[in-house]
Structure 1
Amino acid sequence: MRIDKYLKNARVIKRRTIAKEACEQGRVLVNGKTAKPGTEVDTGDEIEIIFGTKPMKIKVEQVLEHVMKDDYKEMYTIIND
């Protein structure tokens, strides 16, 4: 699944266009590499999103195409450094 769509489905970022813009600005890393909006993510990947001064690091647990309201919590875990 594309990183911009994953971030939207997992409710990390509210809208796909905002997720796409974050990728284009170089604020999203997948496994330590800068991600383009079309970068594919899979189970086990680590995603780092830079919001302001504090980065958020998550690990992909599931990749779901259609997500119900409460199921998004199972899609990733937050990694603390």
Structure 2
Amino acid sequence: MRLDKFLKVSRIIKRRTVAKEIADKGRITINDKVAKSSSDVSVGDTLVVAFGNKTLTVKVTALLETTKKDAAGEMYEIVSETYKENY
């Protein structure tokens, strides 16, 4: 499954266009390699997504073409969530 589609279907990022922009800016890695929006995501992959002041690390547990809101959380497991402090 494409990275941008996974991020949208899993609801880590709400819109696919936003997921594509973030990926194409080099702010997402798959298994420690910088990923593009068209990169393939597989079960067991570790994704690191750098938002503005938050870095989210998740492990892919399932690939589903479509999900309901309450089932989206089953597609990944949060490994860590860190925040940058502004001074």
TM bucket (normalised to shorter chain) is over 0.9
Structure whose CA Rg is larger = 2
Counterpart in the other structure of 1:7: 7
Long gaps (5+) in structure 1: none
The worse-fitting range, judged by mean Cα deviation, of 3-12 and 51-60 is 51-60
The reply to whether residue 71 of structure 1 matches residue 71 of structure 2 is yes
Name the aligned partner's letter for residue 44 of structure 1: G
Counterpart in the other structure of 1:80: 80
Name the aligned partner's letter for residue 22 of structure 2: A
Q: For each residue in 1:29-56, what CA deviation from the matched residue of structure 2 results, as whole angstroms up to 9, or x when unmatched?
A: 0000110111000100000000123311
The alignment-based identity, stated in percent, is: 46
Q: Which runs of 4+ in 1 moved over 2 A?
A: none
Residues 31-46 of structure 1: matches in 2 within 5 Å? 31-46=31-46
Long gaps (5+) in structure 2: 82-87
TM-score, structure 1 as length reference: 0.95
TM-score, structure 2 as length reference: 0.88
Counterpart in the other structure of 1:21: 21
In the aligned structure 2, how far is the partner of 1:53 from the partner of 1:2? 25
Name the aligned partner's letter for residue 56 of structure 1: L
